[in-house]
Structure 1
Amino acid sequence: MKMGFRWYGEGNDTVSLDQVRQVPGVETIVWSLHHKQAGEVWEEAEIAAEIAAITGLTDEHRARGITKTFDAEVVESVNVHESIKLGKTVLGMSRDEAIANYVTTIERLGRAGVKVVCYNFMPVFDWLRTDMFHPLPDGSTALFYEKAVVDLMTPESLIESMHLGDGGLTLPGWEPERLASFQELKEAYVGVTREDMYASYEYFLDAIIPTCEEYDVKIGVHPDDPAFDIFGWPRVVSRKEDLARVLSLNDSPYHGLTLCLGSFGSNPDSDPVDAVKTFMDRIHFTHVRNIKHFPNGDFTEVAHRACEGSIDTVGIMKAYADAGYQGYVRPDHGRHLWDENTTNRPRPGYGLYDRALGIQYLLGVWDACRYEAPSPR
């Protein structure tokens, strides 16, 4: 297992690589080119520059005796253009043009040494919360989903509310350039069914998997977040049976999951530990986090420790450890702690401290499950 840490790039993240360097156990920086829009080709020079920033050390680092480096083997995400999901031209781009650009990007990432690409197949909107900095009883804040608020919202009001909490930083999945054409998207999805989405998904996979195989890049789909339909648009990567259906669309081992257990577990009927055990052979990348469910349908992000919420993070890590999991893992949405709530407000869910604490907790469980006494000297 390789532990990762999601980083949004120089000038686009309140957390620096030097800070991440001091978190024990982190080997992989999970990155993306966040200025690229869905459907755009990633240029080779842009890819090389970002990887160099992640993997390199400066003379100043070396002068201070710093030797720890990272790899850049995981990209989260290369976003899928809406024309691919719909199977028709939308937002000025045809499905085949968007797929051709996606294939080119995968080829270039593979040549640069990337091993896993995360993506999602959610219609229109990506992840959804109603409060970006909801107060918790311990004084920290966290992402919060309030069902009654969403039930009363229109998609237009949701777009506005999401950007009130971005702090001037990018919110992947809520890019203003794409959502500026929301009315066109809204009309394009009228009458689209789950079966339509699966048919478009299979077409996409059949087109890109040969390139994934040739350039040794595994792709992992991220579950819907939250894992149920929003505003009547069909979400097709929500439940256990959805994951099985998606994997059945193409049997290549390069097609698999980015199994985010918090997103999958946002549906209280789901069993995250069972999902890990069921799909272990197709999990290329995983996010382990905790949420707490409330009887009225609300949920909030909490600390990674199992007893803090409704997700059995110990059971999850034990399942990975027992299987000798060889893929990539990262902590996910953390609480905002200490000065992050006052002077150093991060991107919602992506501060430094709680994710660093989460890594130590997850690695502690992993080590406990995998422990072998050292050989006598």
Structure 2
Amino acid sequence: MRMVFRWFGEGNDRIPLEHIRQIPGVEGVVWALHDIPAGEEWPMDRILQVKEQAEKHGLNIDVVESVNVHEDIKLGLPTRDRYIENYKKTIERLAQAGVKVICYNFMPIFDWTRTDLFKKLEDGSTALFFEKEKVESMDPLDLVAKIDADPQFTMPGWEPERLKHLTSLFEAYKGVSEEDLWNNLEYFLKQIIPVAEINNIKMAIHPDDPPWSIFGLPRIMTNKDNIKRFLNIIDSPYNGVTLCSGSLGANPNNNIADMVREFADRIPFAHIRNVKVYENGDFVETSHRTSDGSVDITEIVKAYHETGFTGYARPDHGRHIFDEECRPGYGLYDRALGIMYLWGIWDTLQRTAK
């Protein structure tokens, strides 16, 4: 297991690289050029700038999260080919810089969705929270008024340029079924994976978060059967999954450890985190400790160890603790604690296996 840590770049992240370097066992940063709109090519000079920044602190840039997929590709519009060509060029440039894994998702319009960024927990910490009833009763088009009033308004995981076009995007997705989305994903994969193979970059799709439809939009990366269907579209080690225990774990029916064991050779990147799921469908993100949430993190790490996992892993979201001022879900302290919890399980398994 190769431990990495998500970093949003100089000027965008309160956490300096020298602090990330001090977390035991962390060898690289998971990064992206967040200001480049989806569908545009990533400039080589910008890629090399991040590489230089990381390497000054002894860190690699092997994993990118994310190279976002343009909505025209997901919608299957005639304009998709232009954006796919740009995606191919970005893959080639990232390969030249030494990148090994690209994480991406295929969620329509929205990325991960929460209703409270700082839900207070019993111990006084705060965390990302999802209130199911609130989302089910929410009209996302009401956000248009908020955006008009505050151009800087956004939500975590929601790309600002997409929020500006919510009305037209929802109109475009009317009548788009899950099968349509599957077909559009297949078209994308058949264009992209051969380029990834040539450039020795593993593509790793992220599950939908949460793993069910929201706002009436189709979502397809939600469970074991759908992941199996996805992997069978192109049977290649370069067509893989970013297996996220937190995203998939929001549905108690998903057995993450079982997925690890079944898809082990197709998981180049792992997100390992815990969530506590309530009977009404709400969930909140907790510490990584197994007993604090609903996901058996110990068994998941055991599954990775049993299958000889040598891919990249990161602790994913964390709580906000010790009065840290940070990007929601991405503070230093709780994610660092999470890494040490994961290493504790891993090192114990290593020793007992001898």
Q: Deviations over 1:75-130 (max 9, x none)?
A: 000000011111105xxxx1000100000000000111000000000011110100
Partner of 2:345: 365
1:197 aligned partner? 181
**Which residue in the other structure is 1:283 paired with?**
267
Which structure 2 residues correspond to residues 258-337 of structure 1 after superposition, within 5 A? 258-337=242-321
- Per-residue deviation at 1:142? 0.1
Give the conservation status (yes or no) of the 8 Å contact 1:13–1:169: no
Paired with 1:246 and 1:116, the residues of 2 have a C-alpha distance of 18
> After TM superposition, what 4+ stretches of structure 1 lie above 2 angstroms from structure 2?
156-164, 168-173
Matched, 1:250 2:234: yes
Q: What letter is aligned with 1:70?
A: L
**Counterparts of 2:285 and 2:144, CA distance in 1:** 21
> Match for 2:80: what amino acid?
R
**Superimposed CA distance per residue, residues 24-51 of structure 1 (whole angstroms, 9 cap, x where no aligned partner):** 1101110100111110100110100011
- Tell me whether 1:23 sits opposite 2:8 in the alignment: no
Matched, 1:180 2:170: no
* SS across alignment from 2:135: helix
Separation of aligned partners in 2, 1:373 and 1:124: 45
Q: What SS is found at the alignment partner of 1:362?
A: helix
- Residue 72 (1) aligns with residue 56 (2): no
Deviations 1:273-332 (A, max 9, x none): 111111111001000000001111110000000000000000000111111101000001
Task: Tell me the alpha carbon deviations over residues 141-198 of structure 1, each in whole angstroms, 9 at most, x when there is no partner.
Answer: 000001111121111246788999xxx7986641222210111111110000111111
What is the aligned counterpart of 2:93 among 108, 117, 120? 108
Q: 1:161 to 1:14 in 2, by over 3 A?
A: farther
- Aligned counterpart for 1:149 among listed residues 113, 134, 159: 134
2:110 is matched with which residue: 111, 125, 130?
125
Are the aligned partners of 2:131 and 2:283 in contact in 1 as well (CA < 8 Å)?
yes
Aligned equivalents of 1:172 and 1:95: distance in 2? 26
Matches within 5 A, 1:29-48: 29-48=29-48
The TM-score, its normalising length taken from structure 2, stands at: 0.96
Q: What SS does the aligned partner of 1:121 have? A: coil
**Pick from 236, 239, 243: which aligns with 2:220?**
236
Runs of at least 5 residues in structure 1 that lack an aligned partner in the other structure: 58-68
Cα RMSD over matched residues? 1.9
Q: What is the rounded CA distance, in whole Å, between the counterparts of 1:223 and 1:101 in structure 2?
A: 23
Percent sequence identity is 54
| TM-fit CA distance, 1:339 | 2.2
Query: CA 1:209 to 1:190, structure 2 compared with 1: closer, same or farther past 3 Å?
Result: same
Asked if 1:356 is matched to 2:341, the reply is: no
